[in-house]
Amino acid sequence: MNQRKVFKIWGLMVLVMLLMMMLKQTGVQADKKPPAVMAEKGITLDISRKFYKSQVIKKFIDDLSKYPNSFLQLHMTDNQNLAVEMSAVGQTTEKNAIYQDGQWINTQINRPFLSKKELVDLVAYARSKNVVLIPEVEAPAHMQAILDLLKVNDPERYDAIKLPDGAPEQFNLIDYSKVESLKFVQEILAEYTPLFAGQAKRYFHIGVDEIDWLPVESNMNLVNYVNALDNFLKSQGYTTRMWNDRVAKADLPAYWTNVKYLDTK
C-alpha cells in the first residue's frame, strides 16, 4: 500500500472519530428515531338505541383489550332511551325502578338502564383490561328521553330549558342559549365525572351533533355553551370531546383548545 492511500484511510478514520465525538457531545443518537404516536382504536357502543347489560359490555371490553391504546365510548343517552341512572331527571334505583332479569327497569317508562354502581364496576373492569371507558351524554340535541322524564318529574325545570313555543318538536333540543339549560347539563355531567375518574386517560364526550335549530355559519351561543362545559370538565380533570358536524369554521378560534372534535363520518 503506497503512502498516499495510507494517508487517505487514516484521514477517513479521523473524520469518523470526530463525527462520533460530536454526536456524543450534542446528545444526538443517530440510530434512534422519535417514538411514533400510537393511534387510538375503539368503538362507540350505543346502549340507548340498543341496551346492553353490564356483563355484555364487559365482553366488548375484553375484545378491545387485545389492542393497545383502545377505548370504549359509552353512548348513554339519546332520544330512544336514557340508559343510565340519572338523578337530575328522577331516574334512580331507589324510586320507580325494579331489578328484573339482571337489569334495572324504570317503571314509569318500562325501559332498562344501568345503575351508577354498575357504571363504577365497568370503569374498574375496563381499567383492569387497560381499556379507557369514555362516557357520552348527548346534548343539547338528542335529548328526548331526558326531556320526557324531566317533563314528568320536574315540569318547572322542563319549562325553563325547553325551546321557545313554536319550535319544531322533532329537534329533541333544549334552548342552549339559556343559563338554566347550561346549569342543567352541567349538573348531569357532574353526576358522572366522579364515576369515570381514576383512569389513565379521562375523556368526556358531550355530543353537540345534529343541532338543526341554529344558523350554520356561526353561533356564539353554542360556542359559549361548549366552552362553559369544557371549562367545567377541565376543572374535573377531563378532556372534552364532541362531534364536529355543527362546528362552524368561523367559530373555531373562539373554542377552547382543550376540546377534541371528532368526525361524524
Distance in angstroms (rounded) separating the CA atoms of residues 235 and 246: 25
Alpha carbon 180 to its chain centroid, in Å, reads 23
The DSSP symbol for 144 reads H
Q: Name 203's bridge partners.
A: 239
> Catalytic residue positions?
210
Q: Which residues have a Cβ under 8 Å from the Cβ of 176 and sit 6 or more positions away?
A: 139, 140, 182, 211, 221, 222, 225
Distance in angstroms (rounded) separating the CA atoms of residues 44 and 36: 25
Distance in angstroms (rounded) separating the CA atoms of residues 9 and 7: 6
Q: Which residues have a Cβ under 8 Å from the Cβ of 87 and sit 6 or more positions away?
A: 191
Distance in angstroms (rounded) separating the CA atoms of residues 226 and 181: 12
The DSSP symbol for 114 reads B
Please, is 77 exposed, middle or buried when counting C-beta atoms within 10 Å of its C-beta (0-12, 13-18, 19+)? buried
Q: Name 260's bridge partners.
A: 241
Is there a cis peptide before residue 34, judged by omega within 30 degrees of 0? no
Collapsed DSSP state (helix, strand, coil) of residue 68: coil
Residue 121 · residue 198 · CB < 8 Å: no
Residue in the structure block whose three cell numbers are 343517552: 77
